[in-house]
Amino acid sequence: MSLPPRFHCPVVLASGAELALPAGVARHVQVLRLQPGDSIVLFGTPLQSPAGPEGEYAATILEMGRSAVQVQVGQRRATDREAARRVHLAIGMPANERMDWLVEKATELGAASVQALMTERTVVRLDGMRALKRAEHWLSIAIAACEQCGRNQVPAIAVVQPLRQWLTRLADADGNPGLRVLLTFRPDARPLPEVVGTTPQHVTVLAGPEGGLSPDEEQQALRLGFVPVHLGPRILRAETAALAALTLLA
């Protein structure tokens, strides 16, 4: 027996309510050729779900119109599929479509947030409306990945920004930052599992693009408390290294 399809529904969800699905969700339901009486699962976001960030709602399709879909929201299931440790991934933006792939896989692996960065060695440059549009695109990829993998909390997808600007904001917002690690080829880097151990609940991973961060960029990160770490003796692609670190942490 197959599991009912899952949909991210960005409205307030409450058991017993009848709900007209938002246009985007309704189109998705229609594309799948679902019919009245079919079961689906809906999940929202922490700010939109009065029951909290973890959880999903069973729902039944009541009516299928030409462009509208009406559902009956059923029982809430307090399902928490989040990783025990919140990992925030910041990476020098890879070239081509690799960032799309990275966002999808990072979501599946449990990343709490993803921050794309422009560094000295980043090939792709985005600003203004192009940066906003790309962030919206990545968010749609993260939502689709959550629908597929069972997560009920969509990771935060930030608008791309220059690395130095991001580091400056980190310094200004310093409160309880948790552990910060820098993936690097430096000779003083230690194995990631050795540095992390079992204690920190929040970890920020900073990874460079192809070729890594420049020495000046690494020094700026180290001054902000980033600990140099490595993933072993092999040289991994930028997106592979970021996901390998996420897997070890999450």
CATH code for the domain in which residue 48 is found: 2.40.240.20
Rounded Cα gap, residues 105 and 43, in angstroms: 20
* Tokens 């969800």, residue located: 13
pLDDT of residue 175: 63
Give Cβ neighbours of residue 28 (< 8 Å, ≥ 6 apart). Answer: 7
Please count the other Cβ atoms lying within 10 Å of the Cβ belonging to residue 111: 27
Q: What is the CATH number of the domain that holds 180?
A: 3.40.1280.10
Rounded Cα gap, residues 243 and 219, in angstroms: 23
Q: 54 in a domain, yes or no?
A: yes
**Domain termination residue (choose one: 36, 55, 77):** 77
Same-domain check for residues 220 and 145: yes
Q: DSSP label at 12?
A: -
Rounded Cα gap, residues 125 and 95, in angstroms: 10
pLDDT of residue 45: 60
Same-domain check for residues 119 and 159: yes
Q: Taking residues 127-139, what's their average pLDDT?
A: 92
Q: 1 in a domain, yes or no?
A: no
Each residue's pLDDT tens digit, 137-169: 999 999 999 999 999 999 999 999 999 999 998
Contact call for residues 60 and 133 (beta carbons, < 8 A): no
pLDDT of residue 58: 95
Same-domain check for residues 125 and 70: no
Same-domain check for residues 136 and 159: yes
Same-domain check for residues 58 and 140: no
Q: 31 in a domain, yes or no?
A: yes
**Domain termination residue (choose one: 20, 54, 77):** 77
Which three-class secondary structure state does DSSP give residue 116? strand
Q: What is the mean pLDDT of the chain?
A: 90
Q: 120 in a domain, yes or no?
A: yes
In the structure, what pLDDT confidence band is assigned to residue 50 with cuts at 50, 70 and 90? very low
* 191: containing domain: 86-249
Count of domains for the chain: 2
- Which segments of the chain are extended strands (E)? 6-8, 18-20, 39-43, 56-64, 69-77, 86-92, 113-118, 156-162, 179-183, 190-191, 202-207, 227-230
**Domain termination residue (choose one: 77, 102, 119):** 77
Q: 217 in a domain, yes or no?
A: yes
